Amino acid sequence: MQKFEGTGVALVTPFKKDFSVDVEALQRIVEFVTKGNVEYLVVLGTTAESATLSQDEKELVIKTIVEANAEKLPLVLGVGGNNTLKVVEELKTRDLSKFDAILSVSPYYNKPTQEGIYQHFKAVAEASPIPVILYNVPGRTASNVLPATIIRLANDFKNVIAVKEAAGDIVQAMKLIQNKPEGFLVISGDDMVTLPMVLSGGSGVISVIGQGFPKEFSEMVRLGLQRKVDEAYELHYLLADSIDMIFEQGNPAGIKEVFKSLGLSENTVRLPLVNVDDNLANRLNNFTKKIS
């Protein structure tokens, strides 16, 4: 599973000012992050505003990224939800031949028990023809997938290969790393704690900021994996303010402002999300100019 060590980026879906999908901007972003030396791409995650995309738009996003990537980097597809039967049906009917794994979020809103979460992911693992990366993000799902549940899934299903851990709890992440089966990957889902997680034995990150500053962020992760601590932390502190800023008024409004500053896309987001305010936009623009 070395292809998922290092930096994966959760790609945005760029929109034109009329809110339609901007295919050319998406192509530019794929080229930008690829040249920035990230290790893999995540398609239709939360950062892609997938909740507000129609099925036709999702297919367009997939087609655009697959073609723009041209098999250069491994691809991970977001396939998750709070209706287990619907997720299973998608896994059984979708062509996943261009993808190396799926990223599947723990069911949101329903607030299942740990046994309910286990049974959901059991159904996902049994239906998926490709490896599964679990996604724990309690801030969005309203339920925390505990380390014992993740480790149980990892032990019970060989195709459950990793977890994107975004609880923002370094102690919980360390318990996962300590007790995981050999070969199972613990991937940071929180940009700010990525380096501490890597230095604790984590495998890397699925990042938001990594698509705005791919060269610097992916190098930080590689240095961390190489145990070059001082050099890695130099890059961490270089980017730390930008990580705070891109999440200050919601994701992906912040990172889309960075892309506007870089000239890669518009900053358009779809309701219920709104653009960052002028103050934050100016701070992000100044930071981007300083780094680039």
Binding residues for pyruvate, as ranges, are: 47, 206
Our answer to whether residue 135 is catalytic in this structure is yes
Distance CA 203, CA 170 (A): 14
DSSP label at residue 145: -
Q: Which tokens belong to 12?
A: 């945005």
SS3 state of residue 187: strand
Cβ atoms 193, 173 nearer than 8 A: yes
Q: What is the DSSP letter of 109?
A: S
Chain-centroid distance of CA 259 in Å reads: 17
Structure tokens at 283: 């701070």
* Residue of 40, 135, 180, 256 marked active site: 135
Q: H helices of 157-270, where?
A: 170-179, 194-199, 209-212, 214-225, 229-248, 253-262
Tell me the binding residues: 47, 206
Which one, of 38, 37, 31, 35, lies nearest residue 14 by Cα?
31
At 231, which amino acid appears?
E
Tokens encoding 118: 């286990």
Please tell me which residue in 164, 180, 256, 260 is annotated as part of the active site: 164
Helix (H) or strand (E) holding 136: strand 132-136
User: Quick one: DSSP state of residue 36?
Assistant: T
Active site residues per annotation:
135, 164
